[in-house]
Structure 1
Amino acid sequence: MVTTLLVVVVILAIAFDYINGFHDAANSIATIVSTKVLTPFQAVLWAALFNFAAYFYFTDHKVANTVAKTVIENYITLHVIFAGLLAAIMWNLLTWWYGIPSSSSHTLIGGFAGAGMTHALLTGASPLDAVNMQYVIKIVSFIVLAPIIGMIISVILTLIIINICRYAKPATAEKWFKRLQLLSSAALSFFHGGNDAQKVMGIIATALIASKVIPDFEAMPAWVPIACYSAISLGTMSGGWKIVKTMGSKITKVTALEGVAAEGAGAVTLGITEHFGIPVSTTHTITGSIVGVGVVKSVSAVRWGVTINLIWAWILTIPVSATLAAIIYAVIYYLK
């Protein structure tokens, strides 16, 4: 049944997807802007185009299905989803304001799980009964694994490229790598769209199931993926310049060659995890990839103080989002 609360939840979900786009725009465009291959305006248009292009390829919606199953169905209500989305939006806006590239994926999942666990607690059940540990463990483990995989792949790609091009003229190589960056950033934007838009699709599908508008995930209407891919693309076009600065220059200085390696590594990592339906953080992945290309130059080329601050933001994202959602849901519960 379509209710006012369902409409509000869907609008909030699409709003979060838009915020996700401008919050995570840096993932796709930071290196291509820092190497001056494209202007910031050209870069966000380029990234947004490939964000939306993912709609035509990722039709299995494996990541969306994983997100939808994070909380056990018996503990999902529209109020739970509302509280989770509101908490996720608050944390995303706060980290964007301070230029911290935290994970939009994990704040969404943390908020959803936190509200679901609070619902279970307030209705006399164990909080852990509300979450599907099989999916939660997979998601949490990739907080660590995604940046490490991205870093390892970027180190390997950088070393391969350096060895292949060791006899090339620097000016010629630079020109070619700037062209190749268009392809690598397009690939990263493509997989970013495919991974992140699906997370909101999973939340909207869950809201529709909870409202008995659709019977199950497979019956998700066609407008949901179109709306989600459109929202994240529009958000990317809005840019997130504070985070672009952090990703593009504060971690390590990136050349065109290194930009190709970092973006290529990020795209490969996201492609692998999407294949297995794992909702990883594109932010964590590309940060690990950028650290990887910096380490190849030298360990001191990476600004570890900045990197450690980012890691703290990653560690805090799920518990802070879950706590915010728990507080919001508790207030709603007692006001009903």
Structure 2
Amino acid sequence: MAKNPLGSQWKTLDRDLNRISQLEMATAYVSRPMIGVGISFVFILIAAFAATIWFGGSEGTLIVAAAAAFGAYMAINIGANDVANNMGPAVGANALSMGGAIAIAAVCESAGALLAGGDVVSTISKGIIDTKAVEDGQVFMWAMMAALVSAALWVNLATFVGAPVSTTHSVVGGVMGAGIAAAGLSAVNWPTMGTIAASWVISPVLGGVIAAAFLAFIKHNIIYRDDKIAAARVWVPVLVGIMAGVFATYLAMKGLKRIIKIDLQTALLIGLALGVLTYFITRPMIHRQSIGLENRNKSLKVLFGIPLVFSAALLSFAHGANDVANAVGPLAAIVHASEFGDFSSKVAIPMWVMVIGAFGISFGLFLFGPKLIRMVGSQITKLNAMRAYCVALSAAITVIVASWLGLPVSSTHIAVGGIFGVGFYREWHMERRLKRAPAPVPAAKAIAPIERSRRKLVRRSHFMTIVAAWVITVPAAAFMSGIIFTILYAIAN
């Protein structure tokens, strides 16, 4: 029987079309990251153009436009790195999808920055550099420019390697390095730097301890009870009330500075009132929600889901209100120095600067945020709704305690420290239960020491990477800032 030449041609055509479709898919996969870079570049150009229009043809317009471009770049990096700490636990616990987390974070971060963002920021980032040591306005502007560029580059590098770092500490390092390059070591306020260095240890440890303590409480009073649902009906409203009270205190202190200034005692009273009110509101709701649930751990996750979503949203709002102002502080300082020809220890942040910060965070989160959100939410240790609840609650409590003690802390360090605390507590608790097991483990089921070390509940590689990134953030940003300042000042003169 003769072969059909037409059929052979169709087969050849199908193979060729398949190759073309595979090539198109490969091209789309390779070019996808470039789309985010392209959109970011357009946003940076728009920010620079807007600054040029705002200042018109006045002297210093070029410097302000360049600073606005780098400020937009910094804001994009904040969205890509810092926001993951607020949304990661909720995504890792499957309380939020990635798309839902990005949408909520974008709205809440922008709202926090624009509605409650600090209207005044310390231009020298919490008194790190003595203004008397840098009296020349031009030198001061170039120092702030170097701090902004170095902080943005460092956060970008940390995001690339998958390490959540503190953007505030990056700015601190940048300001310190530029100040040393401009006026020497004597320009640095070393006691302030010592306090910040102490917070590297205190804030993550405190966040981890508080998160582990709440997880231990939940395990003892709910998870290990014979009737888990009955225990949850008693304790979940209490835990939700505590969360509401803590977040009310947190927002009153940290998130509403622009609207009204509230001292710690008043904020605690507001938190207590809202916490008690929330308890009485959620008690019947939790009872109705728990009807028909099976008596197992998986059912408990349903009861913690909604509080976890609200906590993530509130953390994002507070982050937008606080950290955005710190991040765009050098830009605000440059704008102030360009307008008035001098500098001050504190300056007002123009609304257009806050808009750049707010929109930059949203773009960075949408385009580059998922990588760090996945890492924080699921790759350090496995999170469920109860563990993620403990992390979110510990973040807010730690900030309140640190404010009471007068310690400058990083929300990044606290949130990631809480995740480590939950993971290490689970490891300790698992080993403790194995040692207390009444019957010896059969030889066939015994786990070899090497295999047991491999099954650790906290991934050691991520732990070492993150801690190393934390330790070198300030010196690395300072070193980069010093070099950048030297180059910029040499070009300008």
CA separation of 1:278/1:218 partners in 2, compared to 1, >3 Å: closer, same or farther?
A: farther
1:79-99 CA deviation, whole Å, 9 max, x = no partner?
Answer: 111112221222122121121
Distance 1:276 1:45 in 2: 34
Q: Residues 86 and 220 of structure 1: is their aligned pair in 2 closer, same or farther, counting only changes over 3 Å?
A: closer
| 1:161 partnered with 2:218 | yes
Shift of the 228–313 alpha-carbon distance from structure 1 to 2, 3 Å rule, reads same
Residue 61 (structure 2) pairs with residue 3 (structure 1):
yes
CA drift of 1:332 comes to 2.3
TM-score norm. by structure 2 comes to: 0.61
Indicate if the aligned counterparts of 1:22 and 1:238 stay in contact, CA closer than 8 A.
yes
RMSD, aligned α-carbons: 2.6
Looking at structure 2, the residues matched to 88 and 204 of structure 1 have their Cα atoms a distance apart, in angstroms, of 12
What do the CA deviations read for 1:188-238 (whole angstroms, capped 9, x no partner)? 222322331121242233223433538642544344334433432443333
The share of aligned pairs that are identical, in percent, is 27
Matches within 5 A, 1:227-246: 227-246=356-375
Q: Compute the displacement of 1:37 (Å).
A: 1.9
Paired position in structure 2 for 1:251: 380
Matched residue, 1:124: none
- Of 49, 69, 85 in structure 1, the residue corresponding to residue 148 of structure 2 is 85
Change (3 A) 1:206 1:136: farther
Which of the pair has the greater relative contact order for Cα pairs under 8 Å at 6+ separation? 1
When structure 1 is superposed on structure 2, of 30-39 and 251-260 the one drifting more is 30-39
Which residue identity lines up with residue 167 of structure 2 in the other structure? S
* Deviation, structure 1 residue 159: 2.1
Give 2:76's aligned amino acid.
Y
Determine the structure 2 residue equivalent to 1:137. 194
- Answering whether residue 422 of structure 2 is matched by residue 293 of structure 1, we say yes
Alignment of 1:260-275 (within 5 A): 260-273=389-402
Larger deviation, residues 282-291 vs 230-239: 230-239
DSSP 3-state at the match of 1:50: helix
Distance 1:247 1:148 in 2: 17
Distance 2:112 2:124 in 1: 18
Deviation for aligned residue 1:239: 4.1
- The reply to whether residue 147 of structure 1 matches residue 274 of structure 2 is no
TM-score, normalised on structure 1? 0.87
> Which stretch of the first structure deviates more once superposed, 160-169 or 108-117?
160-169
**Structure whose CA Rg is larger:** 2
Mean CA deviation greater in 191-200 or 296-305? 296-305
1:202 is the counterpart of 2:329: yes
Asked if the contact 1:105–1:280 (Cα under 8 Å) also holds between the matched residues in 2, the reply is no
Query: 2:76 is matched with which residue?
Result: 18
Measured in 1, the distance between the counterparts of 2:310 and 2:193 equals 33
- The answer to whether the 8 Å contact 1:44/1:239 transfers is no
Structure 2 CA distance for aligned equivalents of residues 11 and 270 of structure 1? 31
Alignment gaps of 5+ in structure 2: 1-58, 230-294, 429-455
**Is residue 150–residue 481 contact of structure 2 (8 Å, CA) maintained in 1?**
yes
Determine the structure 2 residue equivalent to 1:174: 301
1:110 aligns with 2:173: yes
Counterpart CA distance in 2 for 1:333 and 1:215 is: 18
Query: Hey, what's the Cα distance between the residues in 1 that align with 2:461 and 2:366?
Result: 30
Q: CA deviation at 1:43?
A: 0.6
Task: Report the alpha carbon displacement of residue 276 of structure 1 after superposing the two structures with TM.
Answer: 7.6
Whole-angstrom distance in 2 between the partners of 1:119 and 1:52: 34
CA contact (8 A) 1:109 1:318 kept: yes
How far apart in 2 are the matches of 1:54 and 1:187?
9
Counterparts in 2 of 1:239 and 1:131: CA distance versus 1, 3 Å: same
Shift of 1:68: 5.5
* Structure 1 residue 296: Cα displacement: 2.4
Structure 1 portions without partners, runs of 5+: 121-126
Q: Does 2:151 align with 1:94?
A: no
For residues 135 and 208 of structure 1, what CA distance do their matches in structure 2 show?
A: 25
Q: How many Å apart are 1:181 and its aligned residue?
A: 1.4
Partner in structure 2 of residue 27 of structure 1:
85
